[in-house]
Chain A
Amino acid sequence: AEEIKVGALFPLTGPAAVSGQNCVNSVLAAADVINTKNPDIKAPLAAGEGLVGGKYVIKIVPADHQGKPDVAKSEAERLYNQEKVFAVIGCYNSSATKPASAVAERAKKIFLCGCSSSAALTERGYKYFFRHAPTDAIESVEFVDYIAYLNKEKNAGIKTLGVIYENTEFGKHAADEARKAAKRADLEIVADVPFNNGATNLNSEVQKLKSANPDAVFGAALGGDYSLWVRTMKQVNWLPKIAINYCTGYQNPAVQKELGSDGNFFMGGMGYSPELAKKFMPEAIKIQDKYYTPRSKQPFDSDSIQEAVMLMVLAQAIEKAGGPDTEKVAKIIQTDEFPSVMSLSGRVKFSSDGQNAEALSVITQLHEQKYQTVFPLKYKDSEPTLPMTPWDKR
């Protein structure tokens, strides 16, 4: 069969390398689903071998951008021009996704983005750029909705908010959206704490939170910083009533394993968790066990799985177009709706700016390393522990 090459451009080295490698594994898992016969998996294109009746197979070309935008840009060029990939999936870091997708747009090539969350990505008016993940804007609104719900139904009395975020593209965007959402919901922001990622300690940052003592905290921290943050809060023996996190650290199973019971009762927005999947995405679990876990030694996480979704979307579009014709495929991705076994909402549909209109994330709370869904009500499977159990009572 003829190969259709797809680039998988992620941070395979550098500070975000853990997640980057998960993302590549996730894309590879999806490619396996497509390329081989998987009658056991009930997903589009799983049963058959390859695309268009076996005429094409997907070949993934991994590439490393090291977390650096300039490298992402030149690797994207290399993938399109030299490797002749049909499309690129990437780049995890919004800061890398931006220049890499600009390359695609200029060359009129398809660029697919799973989990980069900066809202700005889909505000550029690009025609060949599609993103699966809910943006920070969407998540922020959901977070404050949840707080409103808690205040109303549970008498939570949450009036003040603190935000702690890494001072990067990701963190700053998240914080911006948090501020906007908080303003609309009349939450007073009493602590606004950016920090340098990769810091040697977060003592003063946490001390600032503690002395402002907000009722709720929104956090945006990647893996190592997330666990440092949690541990430092334990050290100073302080917790807000409720702490909700944007992506990464919180939803990374490896990080949670290391935090152990210290990670309990934190909340976060996610699109995937093994617990959710058991209920709503049984097929995703099959893919995970068959193709992902053998590679990554851990379950899917909410970031990486979205990269797999984007490959499935691309494959379905190619199938419909009957072959790798960029214009046709882009048009189909833009207009059609795709069933997706690995998306919580079960389908993907892009609005005109390339943002997945069906993007959905739920708020979960961690109990004994299990992500229990607490909001929205439709997906809710357990009552939240509110306020968080203090450190000395655990």
Chain B
Amino acid sequence: MSNFLQVLIDGILSGLLYALVAAGLSMIWGVMDVINFAHGEFLMVAMYICYWLGFIFKVDPLFTWVAAGIFLFILGAVTYKWIIRRSLGKAAMAPLLATFGLSMFLKNLCMNRFSPNFRLLSGTLLDGKTFEIGGAIVSVPQFVTGIFSLVVVVALYWLVKRTRLGWAIQATAMDKEAAELMGIDTEKIFLLVFGLGGACVGVAGGLMTTYLAVHPEVGGLFSLIAFVVVALGGFGSIPGAFAAAILIGLVESFTGFYVAAVLKYVAVFAIYLVVILVRPKGLFGW
């Protein structure tokens, strides 16, 4: 029983992390129909930022996620301006492959500059702290990340559904030209969306440094899972991505414990295929 509870909590917590990582990707996909293949490398860059800030200036990632968020906002915006905007609409897969090139570039640049070492901040504020719920142990860093994930997802949802800017974003997503005719500067919206997408993954990466090691390859599996989360959730639906992330966290955790640990990612990818074949537009897709 306590096993069950533990596995459940682990699943939810990793689901929340995946939701945080995927939120930005989902937004970009929804508004622009572009998959940012470098998403995982954005995550890595954010982790490096917080790692180095923590390592050199001894600032805890609990604070530096702000810096990572801001830097990644800029990185996202620059990526849009220099790469996405110029490849968009040229060929079906051009933005996807261009960002694939970007991911290779970023990954190996970090490898070249920072060496492939695994880097882990020790002695952070949250490091190793835990608390108990009904016999199950909850790790504080993961818990805090989970809270952030909820906050970010709710904030994004609120931004999109309840604000003027959100309207502009929705309008742009539905019909770019018509939005322009309403006086919405869609270029700016795209820039902003890519920036926000970056910022979300920046926050995620920042918080992850409280308990995960950073290395040039860290983004790989996270980005694959983020792709699956976003597609499973359905075209650009933030609640969809959230639900999908939790589902995937749970599938991973339960398969890992009750079936076999080596099968947990098989189960994650398989659940995507099964769901998507029944609902070709994802859980919440339209």
Chain A residues within CB distance 8 Å of chain B? 13-15, 17-18, 21, 167, 193-196, 198-201, 203-205, 207-208, 211, 223-224, 227-228, 231, 234-237, 254-255, 258-260, 262, 391
Contact = CB atoms under 8 A, between A and B. Distances in A.
Interface of B: 3, 6-7, 10, 14, 17, 108, 111, 115-123, 128, 130, 137, 139, 142, 211-213, 215, 217-218, 220-222, 225, 252-257, 260-262, 264-265
A254 to B, nearest CB: 6
B117 A254 contact: yes
B14 A200 contact: yes
8 contacts: A195-B261, A195-B262, A199-B264, A204-B257, A235-B137, A258-B120, A258-B122, A391-B128
A200, A211, A227, A254: residue with the most chain B Cβ atoms closer than 10 Å: A200
B225 A18 contact: no
Contacts of B139: 235
B11 to A, nearest CB: 8
A234 B126 CA distance: 13
Most buried by B among A196, A211, A223, A234: A196
B152 to A, nearest CB: 18
A124 B254 CA distance: 41
A227 B118 contact: yes
Contact of B10 (A167, A204, A260): A204
B222 to A, nearest CB: 6
A362 to B, nearest CB: 25
Nearest to B21: A200
Contact of A203 (B14, B123, B225): B14
B222 A17 contact: no
B221 A200 contact: yes
Contacts of A167: 262
Contacts of A14: 116, 217
B118 A236 contact: no
A227 B213 contact: yes
Given A208-B261, A236-B137, A258-B213, A227 B256 contact: no
A-B interface, 7 closest residue pairs, ranked by CB to CB distance from nearest: A204-B256, A17-B116, A258-B120, A203-B10, A224-B118, A204-B257, A260-B122
A237 B118 contact: no
Nearest to B120: A258
Contacts of B14: 200-201, 203
A231 B252 CA distance: 19
B198 to A, nearest CB: 20
Contacts of A223: 117-118
Contacts of B252: 204
Given A198-B217, A201-B14, A258-B213, 11 more contacts: A13-B116, A15-B116, A200-B17, A200-B221, A200-B225, A203-B10, A204-B7, A207-B256, A227-B118, A258-B119, A258-B121
Given A258-B120, A259-B122, A196 B10 contact: no
A227 B212 CA distance: 9
B114 to A, nearest CB: 11
B118 A194 contact: no
Contacts of B128: 231, 234-235, 262, 391
B97 to A, nearest CB: 21
A18 B261 contact: no
Nearest to A207: B257
Given A207-B7, A255-B118, A228 B213 contact: yes
B117 A260 contact: no
B230 to A, nearest CB: 16
A236 to B, nearest CB: 5
A255 B215 CA distance: 12
Contacts of A205: 256, 261
Contacts of B130: 235, 237
B215 A224 contact: yes
Given A21-B115, A204-B10, A259 B221 contact: no
Contacts of A235: 128, 130, 137, 139, 142
A223 B118 CA distance: 7
Q: Which of A18, A198, A204, A391 has the most CB atoms of chain B within a 10 A radius of its CB?
A: A204
Nearest to B121: A258
Given A17-B111, A224-B215, A198 B256 contact: no
A250 to B, nearest CB: 13
Contacts of B118: 18, 223-224, 227, 254-255, 258
B115 A203 contact: no
Contacts of B10: 201, 203-204, 207
A194 B261 CA distance: 7
B232 to A, nearest CB: 16
A374 to B, nearest CB: 25
B116 A18 contact: yes
A199 B218 CA distance: 9
A204 B253 contact: yes
A193 B121 CA distance: 27
Contacts of B111: 13, 17
B262 A196 contact: yes
A205 B7 CA distance: 10
Contact of B261 (A13, A204, A224, A231): A204
